[in-house]
Amino acid sequence: MADYTIQHDRPNCIGCTACAATAPAFWEMGADGLSNLKGAKKNAEGNEELAIEQKDYAVNKQAADSCPVNVIHIIDKAGKKII
Ligand code: SF4
């Protein structure tokens, strides 16, 4: 079972590249200039969601912390929004 869920409010990403630089195993820049959360499910609004395990939390928390517009969110198993 996943320990955390990452949510990327992709429509509001400004394409600064910080997440991709911080956590390239999970984040990459897309052809449209916005970042993509690798392997994530994308909904109709363009938001992305990916379940991760504890071992992948720290690097993604760093990526979320690096985002200047706070469009990367991490939710824990209990549904608590960490960032
Ligand atoms: S750090 Fe935030 S604004 Fe910058 S590319 Fe990543 S999601 Fe987009």
Q: 41-78, pLDDT tens digit by residue?
A: 999 999 999 999 999 999 999 999 999 999 999 999 99
Ligand 1 atom 6, closest CA: 19
Cβ of 64 below 6 Å from ligand 1: no
Q: What is the pLDDT of residue 31?
A: 98
| Best probe residue, ligand 1, of 7, 17, 38 (max atoms within 8 Å of C-beta) | 17
Closest approach atom of ligand 1 to CA 27: 6
Considering only the top CATH level, what class is 4-76? alpha beta
What are the structural domain ranges in the chain? 4-76
Work out the average pLDDT over 23-41: 98
Q: Token digits for 78?
A: 């209990």
Cβ of 23 below 6 Å from ligand 1: no
| CA separation for the pair 26, 33 (Å, rounded) | 16
Whether the predicted pLDDT of 1 surpasses 80: no
Query: pTM value?
Result: 0.96
CB atoms < 10 A from the CB of 65, how many?
13
